[in-house]
Chain A
Amino acid sequence: MRPSRLHAGHAFLIPWFVGFFGLTLGPALASLYLSFTNYDLLQAPGWVGLSNYVRILTADAKVAESVRVTLLYVVLSVPFKLGFALAVAMLLNQGMRGLPLYRALFYLPSLLGASVAIATLWRQVFSGDGLLNRVLALFGIQGASWVSDPDTAIYTLVALSVWQFGSPMIIFLAGLRQLPRDIYEAAALDGATAWYQFRHITIPLLTPVIFFNLVVQTIDAFKAFTPAFIISGGTGGPINATLFYTLYLYQEAFGYLRMGYAAALAWLLVLAIGAITAAAFLTARRWVHYEA
């Protein structure tokens, strides 16, 4: 090894070093500190010990509300999204003609879905006199006022998430193509039905991909923000029905300038996501089959 190369390695990493210490590690530690203070940007942070955390966990009804909304969103959107993704991927994996076209069409919503334009469209489609109810009226069905009814508002967000099943679908499709064909041929010779093959060959062999999609989509669902913000006009309404945890955090930080409290909310979110990811990896040993 030459000294000049030794030097170059560090030189190449200078931008990353600056970013890592200045934008990641430093701020992460700073937000940990702020979470034990009250800070409104105007006066210096005042140390309050654990009181932010105590209030979040015991005394803030809006936190409880936002956790309920967020969990409902995660628990409903992730399984439906992955279910659709797998079903369509299986259909497409039969060696169909026009596969690239279908794949592109199904993927398109995933690419556009995060934008304000689509969230806006959703707000119209699911309003009382919006597109969905117009279509339902053709069948003589009187639809609800989906977006402004606190009982249904969250389902419009779930629908928006499920609509974007394209990216896990592409990952499933790539996984399905890797499966060895000879196993299926042998199973068919032994008289295994299509369902039996799906249940006892496809699913077990696909568990690594299912696991990957599950973890990625769950973390993404916890971090969702824009659709709820646009559809509720930034309020999380009606009556907190779409108050995602991230939206509440945003309101506390930038609406009320309670930076310390919001930092504590952020750290609890990290702990929650970390715990769920860790749990997924721990249970994975029991149901994810990696090839020996």
Chain B
Amino acid sequence: MRHNKSILSHALLCAASLVMLYPLLWMLASSFRPNTDIFTSISLLPIPPDTAAYPRGWRGLQVPFSRFFLNSAVIAILSVIGNVLSCSLAAFAVTRLRFPGRDLCFALMLGTMMIPYQVTLIPQYILFLHLDWVNTILPLVVPKFLAADAFFIFLLAQFFRGIPRELDEAAVVDGCSPWRIYWNIMLPLSLPVLGTVAIFTFIFTWDDFFGPLVYLTDIEAFTVQLGLRGFLDSSGTSDWSAMFAMACLTLAPVLVLFVLFQRTLIQGIATTGLK
């Protein structure tokens, strides 16, 4: 009876995952189909596969998608570097150093996690407009170097607290400066959690639509998400194959990270409640 129950569970789970993933697989299949078939075929096998939609989509706007991929990659990579450095600096200060106002600072960091971005959005926009940063990557990247994602500070601080204090106390006795303790002891010991910060930052910035929508209006500066939306508005609903082809390509980097770092991602969510 136990055996039957387990088969039933597997059947249920298989059916559920199939239903969930079906639209995704269908989108991938449809990107290899001519437009005439998209509204008639529900199968997951495009026969024969037709790759014409990829080059058509790639050059579907007046600027090719290579430009959007490059822009997105630059923003995502700089954001990763920014978050890893600035959040670990702040987390190190509040967990390992003693100075007046430390607890207040940590409380303020936690407090900023609660503030929705809509509240700071408009003055930030005005500020960046006056700095002449609109249509550059700066409004999207600079905040990452200023530890604006307080959540990651919190995540790193939790991890730093688990590293034995004896290590840095011994280093202090040996005459190590706080900078060297941070750089030569804490960071190397924290590679797993720094990896979590890096992967989530990359995925969040790669998928971010709102920030680029507000700050990037010149098509040369578009990220892949904006490029996709521009394509949808200009010809997407008349050329679904090309639309789906580009959609699949924009999902590809996230999928690759997912396959490579699945365990890290799932642990990150299980322990912290991240998306």
Contacts and interface: CB of A to CB of B under 8 A. Distances in A.
A121 B27 contact: yes
Contacts of B269: 107, 167, 170-171
A171 B266 CA distance: 9
B266 A104 contact: yes
Nearest to A84: B16
B108 interface: yes
A216 B121 CA distance: 21
B207 interface: yes
A121 B244 contact: yes
A210 interface: no
11 contacts: A12-B97, A15-B86, A19-B146, A20-B112, A23-B143, A28-B115, A91-B12, A107-B265, A120-B228, A226-B209, A230-B232
Nearest to B21: A105
A112 B23 contact: no
Interface in B224-267: 225, 228-229, 232-233, 236-237, 240, 243-244, 246-248, 250-251, 254-255, 258, 262, 265-266
A73 to B, nearest CB: 16
B146 A246 contact: no
B210 A225 contact: yes
A123 B240 CA distance: 11
Contact of B233 (A13, A111, A233): A233
Contacts of A262: 122
Contacts of B171: none
A14 to B, nearest CB: 8
B116 A270 contact: yes
A103 interface: yes
Contacts of B89: 12-13, 15-16
B178 interface: yes
Interface in A45-84: none
Interface residues of B, number: 91
Contact of A12 (B92, B265, B274): B92
Interface string A111-155: 110111110110111000111001100100000000000000000
B250 A116 contact: yes
B116 A269 contact: yes
A15 B20 contact: no
Given A94-B9, A134-B39, A173-B270, A24 B115 contact: yes
Given A41-B126, A124-B240, A171 B10 contact: no
A15 B101 CA distance: 16
A131 B26 contact: yes
A157 interface: no
A124 B143 CA distance: 35
B177 interface: yes
Contact of A253 (B16, B121, B177, B254): B121
B17 to A, nearest CB: 4
A12 B266 contact: no
Interface in B1-49: 6, 9-10, 12-13, 16-17, 20-21, 23-24, 26-27, 38-40, 42
Contacts of B94: 13
A107 B203 CA distance: 14
A288 interface: no
Contact of B97 (A8, A16, A104): A8
A115 B273 contact: no
B146 A88 contact: no
A43 interface: no
A121 B247 contact: yes
A24 B23 CA distance: 39
A26 interface: yes
Contacts of B63: none
Contacts of B105: 13, 16
B214 interface: yes
A106 interface: yes
B80 interface: no
A152 B123 CA distance: 36
Contacts of B129: 41
Given A12-B182, A116-B209, A24 B120 contact: yes
Contacts of B90: 12-13, 15-16
A129 B92 CA distance: 56
B78 interface: no
B216 interface: no
Given A5-B178, A13-B90, 15 more contacts: A1-B98, A5-B97, A5-B99, A8-B178, A12-B90, A22-B127, A26-B123, A30-B122, A34-B123, A107-B269, A111-B258, A116-B247, A124-B38, A131-B26, A131-B42
